[in-house]
Amino acid sequence: MLHVDPILAATSAAPAAVLAGTPALAAGGEATPPPFTVGTVLTETRLDSWLALGLVLAAGLYLYGVYRLRLRGDRWPISRTVFFLGPGLGGIALVTVSGLHAYDTALLSVHMIQHMVLSMVAPIFLALGAPMTLALRTLPLRPRKRLLAIVHSRVARVYSFPLVAFAIFVVNPFALYFSDLYRFTLEHAWAHELVHAHFIMTGCVFFWPLLGLDPLPGRWPYPARALLMLLSVPFHTVLGLTIMQSSTLFGGDWYPSLNLGWADPWADQVLAGGILWAGGEFVSVTMLAVLVVQWVKQSEREARRVDRELDRQEARERAADAAAA
């Protein structure tokens, strides 16, 4: 009679259990999610991450600042509050706190959606919310002086210089996706969360000097800013097409090893490249339109200022003529 070692039998049965339906493990040892649907995006929502806490804290501080201004009778544009809380903080929450987070290490396409929102969409509206201006108008004297010292520090001047911010914004995606760093972020949840924070910071560094309403040193004139935005468009096109046409899978064998019967890693990678390509061009055109609107408004304000100065000058001349008569 054939004797089977129970330990050997148990170890050989483990792969069979995986094939039979036991979920694979994603970053941080979490089970891979069920098939991607609208329902699962809603049911997989989590509110226990450090990023969710940071979003709630940022929203609370912003609303408290607006409340302080209203108490003393000062106005604060409603549009700024809507931009900051809605597409700004809300956009970050949509791709990190909602059920999409459950798929960011299982589908490259979902990760690219996060990439676009965190680095290109949310930072634009955070900048349009002018949180630094709000802080300068509501903080006590000593914290306000410290904030101004940080804004005008040498480090802030270097990172907010448009060419430096442009280089960081363009180089970072290539450094992430075309190195072993991306595989590392898939295997370690803390590194993946750190990449999310890095996307947000990179987007803010790039868009704040170009579109932001806050006072920043060394801000470029509008024509130069528009040119820099146009130059950023080809890089997203190149990156997206490279991902679509790549003959190797990003992350190595990570996605095939998940054994997702409802997703094809190759097709998903093509979709991810298309999202980056089309999304990058759409956001670039949108932010260019925002810049043109700001440019027109600034020109109108300058024209009104010149008209007022001419009116004052004419009034002084009439007064001088009357006195001489």
pLDDT digits over 18-61, tens only? 333 334 445 545 566 788 887 777 777 777 677 888 899 999 99
Residue 253 is part of which domain span?
42-324
Q: Locate 1 and state its tokens.
A: 């009679």
Comparing CA positions, the residue from 92, 164, 156 lying closest to residue 129 is 92
- Is residue 124 situated within a structural domain? yes
- Is residue 6 situated within a structural domain? no
- Is residue 63 situated within a structural domain? yes
Q: Where are the alpha helices (DSSP H) in 36-153?
A: 38-43, 50-71, 78-83, 91-96, 108-116, 122-128, 131-138, 141-151
Domain count, the chain: 1
Comparing CA positions, the residue from 85, 126, 89 lying closest to residue 213 is 126
- Is residue 260 situated within a structural domain? yes
- Is residue 4 situated within a structural domain? no
pTM: 0.80
pLDDT in tens, 82-136: 999 999 999 999 999 888 888 988 999 999 999 999 998 999 999 999 999 999 9
CB 272 within 8 A of CB 111: yes
Length of the chain: 325
The CA-to-CA distance between both ends of the chain, in Å, stands at: 132
- Is residue 54 situated within a structural domain? yes
